[in-house]
A and B are shown apart, each in its own frame.
Chain A
Amino acid sequence: MSRIELASVSKTYDNGVAALKPVTLDIAAGSFVVLLGPSGAGKSTLLRTLNGLETPTSGEVRIDGEVLCRANLRAMRARIGMVFQQFNLVGRLNVMTNVLCGTLGKRSSLGSLFFLMRRADLELGHAVLARVGLTDKAWERADRLSGGQQQRVGVGRALAQEPAVLLADEPVSSLDPATSREIMDLISDIRRRDGITTIVSLHQVELARRYAERVIGLNDGNVVFDGPVGDLSDDVLRRIYGNGGHSGDVADA
């Protein structure tokens, strides 16, 4: 359970778009943080700098005091699990294999190139599948599952890394409300039992209210709010969703 620090991290893309203005944050080990904001606010960008999927234009990211850079990228990534909006599974492979992708960071062996897995890893996979409730689908092709089930596999894959940090980039935006709550329950439960530092980006205010401890509100690349979820007043929401925010997101509140 790792502590994450961002020191003046900013990201400007090659086409000139300043997706993230310099941000300094300190996220305590084991906390549950929700990044809230409208589309294009920079939530995804911020999240992706934490595991190196985006390289900051300035500033540095530190995990347990160690700076994230090219040299230690792989080792760091192995400790950081990520759940994606589009699930990003390998459709043709079965559920168990998709989950076992999570162990690749720890196993650079030749065997992994031939899909040979250690017994210990398979047992880990089995345990993970039980936790996400997909034991009976272990050998099915991932692309035959429903959206909610596929996301469970995504969560499972992250769990298989036995991570110190869990990142979730709009994990429920492609799911219906009932399934969304199931997935958020799952993530919340994992965090409660394992104490993993969890950062989830959402645009649905209602879900933020239900699950977050701390909310960081973003608008147009800037942090406009940072505090406990209890302080999420209508005023604050207006600040977050003010210019160019989707009125639909505010209606969620």
Chain B
Amino acid sequence: MTLPPLPKKPFNPTPVWVALVAALFYVVAVELDVGFGELAWGARDMVEFMSRFSSPDFSDIGRYARLMGETLAIGLWGTALAVVIGMLAAPFAARNLSPSPVVYRVTREVLNLVRAMPDLLLALIFVAAIGLGPLPGVLALGLHTGAFLGKFYAECLERVDRGTYEAVRASGANFLQVTVWAGWPSILQELVSYAIYVLDRNVRMAVVLGLVGAGGVGIALTTTLRLFEYNRASALILVVLATILAIDYLSAWLRAKVR
């Protein structure tokens, strides 16, 4: 007895996608001459290299702690600046609050533009313009994450029920009053939550910015590595690691508290 034929099997795109990605990967890797082969053979060398970091030298711990403190300060002030910028920009970038559609579009585009610039590039520009030190770092972080917060706060403001805004508007309140009385209170939780997330991120970035002369631990790290002082480098890395993990825990705890 012959069985009725099965319906045609639906086309499953997954293997095609996987194959495509794999092929692209291979092509790109070859093009880039990214020596994965060397890496594999050099695995033993890597292990040896990593072992150079194995006995951290904490003799200069005081200086490292101070530098880490400076990095933290940069992250903190960068975040403060970002929150201010974000809160100032957001009402103009929220479709249901903005005084005019033109202002809305322009603000959104400006925010997108600033957001697309990596903070490092901004920091470089500020260092070139202002000179070395923590201030360019603070400004770069503040602008870049300020634009991020501006966008996200605006989206939160747009999600508020329009009736809430309407009622306050109908009492004769102006744009600023509607924003402060109906807007911010309605999104208080997201406000704080995003600010904490940005703080976490900015502390990390502040470490990186130090590498271009914008203050903090970055320079010390570059120097120790260039001078092959691996043990000092690993001490620095541990200090940075400990601080960042601490901030991570703190920010997760804070965000849970603001429920």
Please report A residues at the B interface, Cβ cutoff 8 Å.
51, 53, 74-82, 84, 86, 88-93, 97, 101-106, 108, 112-115, 154, 157-158, 161
Please report B residues at the A interface, Cβ cutoff 8 Å.
161, 163-164, 166-174, 176-177, 180-182, 185-186, 188
How far, in angstroms, from A81 to B173 measured CA to CA in the complex? 12
How far, in angstroms, from A81 to B170 measured CA to CA in the complex? 7
Taking CB as reference atom, which chain B residue is nearest A105? B172
How far, in angstroms, from A115 to B167 measured CA to CA in the complex? 17
Q: Is the CB of B168 within 8 A of A51?
A: no
Q: How many A-B residue pairs have CB under 8 A?
A: 81
How far, in angstroms, from A154 to B163 measured CA to CA in the complex? 12
Q: Is the CB of A113 within 8 A of B176?
A: yes
Q: Is the CB of B171 within 8 A of A77?
A: yes
> A97 → chain B, closest Cβ, in Å?
8
Taking CB as reference atom, which chain A residue is nearest B183? A90
* 9 contacts across the A-B interface (CB closer than 8 A): A77-B171, A84-B167, A88-B161, A101-B181, A102-B171, A104-B168, A104-B177, A113-B176, A114-B180
> A12 → chain B, closest Cβ, in Å?
21
Question: In the complex, which of the residues B168, B173, B174 has the most CB atoms of chain A within 10 Å of its own CB atom?
Answer: B173
Q: Is the CB of B185 within 8 A of A81?
A: no
Q: Is the CB of A113 within 8 A of B171?
A: no
Task: Check A53/B170 contact, CB under 8 A, given A88-B164, A90-B164, A113-B176.
Answer: yes
Question: In the complex, which of the residues B167, B171, B186 has the most CB atoms of chain A within 10 Å of its own CB atom?
Answer: B171
> A162 → chain B, closest Cβ, in Å?
11
Q: Is the CB of B180 within 8 A of A77?
A: no
Task: Check A90/B186 contact, CB under 8 A, given A53-B170, A161-B171.
Answer: yes
- Complex contacts, B188 vs chain A, CB 8 Å: 92
Q: Is the CB of A90 within 8 A of B181?
A: yes
Q: Is the CB of B172 within 8 A of A89?
A: no
- Complex contacts, B181 vs chain A, CB 8 Å: 90, 93, 97, 101, 104, 115
How far, in angstroms, from A92 to B185 measured CA to CA in the complex? 6
